[in-house]
Chains A and B, each alone.
Chain A
Amino acid sequence: DTEVTQTPKHLVMGMTNKKSLKCEQHMGHRAMYWYKQKAKKPPELMFVYSYEKLSINESVPSRFSPECPNSSLLNLHLHALQPEDSALYLCASSQSPGRGELFFGEGSRLTVL
């Protein structure tokens, strides 16, 4: 199994809603990443989890809250988002932090109304 699975594929939410994005991998990878990608722009790193601990937070607003319940799961909790937060949210994993191939999921397309 070389897949990173992200759910939901599409999400529409209002600015007062609370929702979560989920990411799962069963490759035994010990690093997991959240990236945000706006249209026609490169992915921008948001968070890195290394051995289930948050190791990098790229000064992301607190309305985005990451969580790593175990080595296979990564969540991104969303609350009080703004329309400009609409984007493709990509999860990735790698065998070890900072090394090796990044395996990306297909992304969750978020629209904030």
Chain B
Amino acid sequence: LAKTTQPISMDSYEGQEVNITCSHNNIATNDYITWYQQFPSQGPRFIIQGYKTKVTNEVASLFIPADRKSSTLSLPRVSLSDTAVYYCLVGEANTGFQKLVFGTGTRLLVSP
């Protein structure tokens, strides 16, 4: 079964780069890795998705090594508003990837 492992929490300061790593040793060959951000009492919000190597969008970068057993979400120059919980997701191949399982999440606290 696909399962992800993330650090429980991380602390940072405004303006720093933050890297959050997710371990997914049992990722299926065809599965994508997706990261979400969640603020308290709100639904999760999509950040980025990738399959291999590097993906970059206007808010983050996602680094995936060749073996795809882990991935790293990189947030450049964080601000106070980036304080949130960050989840990585992979699907489960035996459900046609319909079963999208959230990891434990990483609580990021950004301080002034």
Which residues of A pack against B, CB within 8 Å?
A: 4, 31, 33, 42-45, 48, 50, 55-56, 58, 88, 90, 92, 97-107, 109
Contacts and interface: CB of A to CB of B under 8 A. Distances in A.
Interface of B: 32, 34, 36, 41-46, 49, 87, 91, 95-105
30 contacts: A31-B98, A33-B100, A42-B103, A42-B104, A42-B105, A43-B102, A45-B99, A45-B101, A48-B99, A55-B95, A56-B95, A56-B98, A88-B41, A90-B43, A97-B96, A98-B91, A98-B96, A101-B34, A101-B46, A102-B34, A102-B46, A102-B100, A103-B46, A104-B43, A104-B45, A105-B43, A106-B41, A106-B43, A107-B43, A109-B41
A52 B42 CA distance: 25
Contacts of A101: 34, 46, 49
Contacts of B95: 55-56, 98
Interface centre among B41, B43, B46, B96 (most CB of A within 10 A): B43
Contact of B97 (A45, A90, A98, A106): A98
A55 B49 CA distance: 24
Nearest 7 CB-CB pairings of A with B: A104-B43, A98-B97, A42-B102, A98-B98, A101-B46, A97-B98, A48-B98
A97 B32 CA distance: 13
B42 A107 contact: yes
A90 to B, nearest CB: 5
